[in-house]
Structure 1
Amino acid sequence: MLARLVREPLVHFIALGALIFAAWYWINPPRPPVDEIVIDQPQLDHLKALWKAEWKRDPSPDDVKAIIDRHLRKEIFYLEAMRMNLDQNDEIIKRRLAQKMEAVAGDVSRLMKPVTDDELRIYMKRRPDLFAQPQSIGFRQVLFLTSERSAALATLAALREGNPVPEAQEDRMGVPNDWGVTAGPDIANAFGDDFAAELAKVPVGKWEGPIASGYGLHLVYVDKREDAHQPSFESVRPYVQREYDYQAQRDAEQAAYDALRKRYTVRITAEGVPADVQLALASQ
């Protein structure tokens, strides 16, 4: 029976047709349907607005073509990447999506009614550490290299007698001689903590030194000192508003996370995790 089928011309025709179709599909594999990318008016307006924000002018026709080409390139590579599951287990993508989700959660805080001045005053009183003004000092300095201690001492004596700062010592190494009233932390950032601590001890109205810093040796004259204090609400209201808004957004994000966290259970199969950590996660 089998031998007879093998000799049938119809069987030969079917087998040959199958081989031809197989060869055709091997040479020209079927393509998936082409995805449609729509660029409607709101989309194009958005792309042009982004371009204008970067270049500070309206895009020309050539610029519009470049904008669309760049958008299509991004969209096509994005769609193909998603088709290939390249987004799976990618830490950068996970981090970015998590940030966007946090931003969505943070938007809740912006939907709340505007904060009043009374609420801002209460917030300021609750967080005095955020708004306290550190000690500030207005001073002059004259810079010498570490190897020029003798010259520094001679100049100190001359300055105490009322002589002007030597021309060769003006703005030496790019360091200004005159410093207006400057907050202690800013002085420390500019000259180092040790210099700032020694400068805080210098009496007002007298040349002193030399005080060492990373630049060298400094002769200093303090003309004003303001002690650390709590500022008035009116003088720092914009800063209080920014801090309040920031904290409100953080609180909204945390509340959203706490609500979402209840929808998930955590099971840790990895080794080396402390038992109290596992218990805490399991109980959430």
Structure 2
Amino acid sequence: MESKFKIWNEPLIHFLLIGGLIFGADRLLIPEQKELIIVDKNNIDFLVKKREDMTLSTLSDQEVDALVTAYVDDEILYREAYRRGLNVGDTRMRHNMILKMRGLLVSEISVPTDEDLKTYYEQNRKKYSTPELVELQHLFFSESSRVPEGLLESLHNNPEKPTKGDLHRPTLGQTTLQRAKSELTDLFGIDAAKALAEADSNQWMGPFTSNQGIHFVRRERIIPPTAASYEDIEDYLIMDWEITEARKLIQIELANVRENYKIVVER
């Protein structure tokens, strides 16, 4: 009988018991630590500026929130991909890691019915429309010294027959163009693009300077979008519908794992 209880007098047994109690108390008393994701003001400013330069419009608070949410979603997917070992033996960039994680989360998508596709088309008609176009006239000079004196006043007096510019090409020189707003910055620079997008008259404006030279521009009219018919794009709708369904599945998984992260957004 004495030998049966002798083991409880061993110091090692006492040490293991005390250690186990401390570990258990630590798990109970200290809350689980969440992985930290910080979206600071510099991140948000960069995302907002990039989008505003592309759209030539000021983002609303809701649009900024959507940008931040998309950024956080991608960060979670990246970290989940890394946690699940998808980076092992793979030296490709972060974007590819996120794509692999998205692919892992998407299960087999069912074949859409005709009703599914027609509903999707009606809900996304804007996606299958031509972009809103700006019709404009443009006068280009390779350098400021080549701009005739008093040109802008002359253009205001004779808007339909302006002085010829340096070059005569579809994008550089006097011509009439039809371009989407998203193309204007690359063609004429950010200042001219904003002026064309926001103009409420058809007066000549300028000079605007880009990395190509000097621009004078005149907005003729805005051409509204035109939606493609369901019959013309029916073959493309299946692929787009499947992509949308896959995104829904990814959002469900993101909602499930988001609780594992502590997210801090610094405005």
Q: For the superposition of Structure 1 and Structure 2, which TM-score range results when normalised by the shorter chain?
A: 0.3 to 0.5
| TM, length-normalised to structure 1 | 0.42
Relative to its length, the structure with more helix (as a share) is 1
Larger strand proportion, structure 1 or 2? Answer: 2
Structure with the greater relative contact order (CA < 8 A, sep ≥ 6): 1 or 2?
2
